[in-house]
Amino acid sequence: MNDTTTINAKEEALLARFEEKVQNGDAIEPRDWMPEKYRKHLIRQISQHAHSEVIGMQPEGNWVTRAPSLRAKQILLAKIQDEGGHGLYLYSACETLGISREEMIEQLQSGKAKYSNIFNYQTLNWADIGAVGWLVDGAAIVNQVSLQRTSYAPYSRAMVRICKEESFHQRQGYEIMAEMAKGTPEQSEMAQDALNRWWWPSLMMFGPHDGDSPRSADAFRWKIKRQTNDELRQKFIDKTVQQAEVIGLTIPDPDLKWNEEKQCYDYGKINWEEFNQVINGNGPCNKQRIDHHKRVHTEGAWVREAAEAYRLKTQNN
């Protein structure tokens, strides 16, 4: 027996044990052996998730200085702060897989790593802040609740912690929408306008239909992903339609209809053409979001350099 076959045999044994562990529903910890493809898949997914939290601070930050009351300002700021905290938490989870935050930021800025498409849309009026909390956080929760049982332990732990705060955000967003929907005619117009613009992009947050989703086979076998895009999307629609009704807003989908037999809502065709356009860089804010991130990163370089220089100086004393 030569060396290569020994290594291969050893590797195969490890892989078999790994697959068995995952099938048994055991969690994978950072110190455990894992196949390279599993590690890569997780880095891609967790870093994308972290970047989404951070880039998402921009569209919401857009209204911080214009929040219409002290309480509203406080709630919004605290929410954005939570999102930044989620970003930090997820960056740390991702670092356990052997990639540094610097590398992740580089990948974000070069376009190698993605962030959620939803943040390439604009927040144009105050009701958008409601819509983002209600719909975007609402959709994120559906996804993240499912990820609480994901196989990689640091990611799953991050999701448990994050989910609690997300449902808070969702309620606060819904509260803004409800308040505006029953407010002055201008306010309810803003609320409906925000729903009209955010509804379809929110549905797209769950990704392509199951048949068109690349890379999902591995993700399911390894129990990184636990439910399909379409299952999760349906869950989101079913809970959200009723919430819209309660506050007197209309979901902008003429084909939306309760299906008695399937006990869920049928919905209209999603514009995947738009989805692909935005994913490929042609959304209303793609350039703005990344440019902003780069500008802030560049403008802050002198501060980070100073902190590092000071650390080295004081370390030597």
Which residues contact other proteins (rule: CB under 8 A)?
54, 57-58, 61, 64-74, 77-78, 80-81, 84-85, 87-88, 91, 126, 179-180, 183-184, 186-187, 292, 296, 299-307, 309-310, 313
- Binds 35, which of other proteins, Fe ion, none (CB < 5 to 8 A, cut-off by type)? none
- Binds 184, which of other proteins, Fe ion, none (CB < 5 to 8 A, cut-off by type)? other proteins
Task: Please identify, using beta-carbon distances, which residue of 31 and 313 lies nearer to other proteins.
Answer: 313
User: At its nearest, how many Å lie between Fe ion and the CB of residue 169?
Assistant: 4
For residues 50 and 100, is the Cβ–Cβ distance under 8 A? no
Task: Please identify, using beta-carbon distances, which residue of 144 and 229 lies nearer to Fe ion.
Answer: 144
Angle, CA of 309, 311 and 50, to the nearest 5°: 90
User: At its nearest, how many Å lie between other proteins and the CB of residue 257?
Assistant: 34
Task: Please identify, using beta-carbon distances, which residue of 7 and 78 lies nearer to other proteins.
Answer: 78
- Binds 86, which of other proteins, Fe ion, none (CB < 5 to 8 A, cut-off by type)? Fe ion
Reading the block at residue 244, the tokens are 């819209």
- Binds 31, which of other proteins, Fe ion, none (CB < 5 to 8 A, cut-off by type)? none
- Binds 268, which of other proteins, Fe ion, none (CB < 5 to 8 A, cut-off by type)? none
User: At its nearest, how many Å lie between other proteins and the CB of residue 77?
Assistant: 6
On the CB side of 230, CA atoms within 13 Å amount to: 12
User: At its nearest, how many Å lie between other proteins and the CB of residue 58?
Assistant: 5
Task: Please identify, using beta-carbon distances, which residue of 122 and 148 lies nearer to other proteins.
Answer: 122
Task: Please identify, using beta-carbon distances, which residue of 65 and 110 lies nearer to other proteins.
Answer: 65
Task: Please identify, using beta-carbon distances, which residue of 34 and 180 lies nearer to other proteins.
Answer: 180
* Ramachandran angles phi, psi of 206, nearest 5°: -80, -5
User: At its nearest, how many Å lie between Fe ion and the CB of residue 49?
Assistant: 9
* DSSP letter (8 states) at residue 248: T
On the CB side of 187, CA atoms within 13 Å amount to: 13
Residues contributing to the site for Fe ion (CB under 5 A): 53, 83, 86, 137, 166, 169
- Cα–Cα distance list, 25 to 17, 198, 222, 228 (Å): 13, 36, 10, 18
Task: Please identify, using beta-carbon distances, which residue of 60 and 253 lies nearer to other proteins.
Answer: 60
User: At its nearest, how many Å lie between other proteins and the CB of residue 54?
Assistant: 7
- Binds 281, which of other proteins, Fe ion, none (CB < 5 to 8 A, cut-off by type)? none
For residues 128 and 116, is the Cβ–Cβ distance under 8 A? no
- Binds 169, which of Fe ion, other proteins, none (CB < 5 to 8 A, cut-off by type)? Fe ion
